[in-house]
A = this chain, B = another copy of it.
Amino acid sequence: MALRFAILGLLLDGPSSGYDLARRFAEVIGAYAWDAKHSQIYPELRGLEEEGLIEVAARGARGRTAYRCTAEGLAELRGWLTTPPESRGGVRNEHALRLFLLPALDHEDAIEVLRHTEAAATAQAERLSQEVLRLQEATGAASGGPLGLTAQYGIGSFRATAQWARSAMDQVAVDARAGRWPGDHPSRR
């Protein structure tokens, strides 16, 4: 379901071909919010056109077909955005899973993994901060535009992760000293 709305949203920035969309997924949004390959995009575009949510805006060389979002498409997207996701069921977050499984490692390895987590999250937050500055300059908007807002969200998440990792290292060390770290006793689990 989400893919079609991602496409509708991207088409609001101007007519795009499947090829254009694939590039924007791969180069930009794929790193922040949602990813998709061309093999998924082209069939979806056909579906969206059949439903009247997008229409052909132009045909160019090499069989290029650019689409635009119709009024119906915009209405559909707005409807989806203003309906809160029912959710509450079924997180599927590999990062969180890895953290949850950390007690399978002995405390030294666990701390090592947390060190990596902390370093990676800090680096990501740093990278996005640069990105936001660049976007604010480029757009002139306080938010740095839609990408700026999303990037700011990413910064907050990564900083929270880094902070959590530091605190978790301490807690693992404390538990390990007290002989309470599960991964140090694989036999009696």
Contacts and interface: CB of A to CB of B under 8 A. Distances in A.
The quantity of this chain's copies bound in the complex is 2
Contacts of A189: 12-14
Nearest to A168: B149
A182 B145 CA distance: 9
Contacts of A161: 153, 156-157
A133 interface: no
B82 A113 contact: yes
Interface of A: 2, 5-6, 8-9, 12-14, 29-35, 74, 77-78, 81-82, 84-85, 88-105, 109, 112-113, 116, 120, 140-143, 145-147, 149-150, 152-154, 156-157, 159-161, 163-164, 167-168, 171-172, 174-175, 178, 180, 182, 186, 189
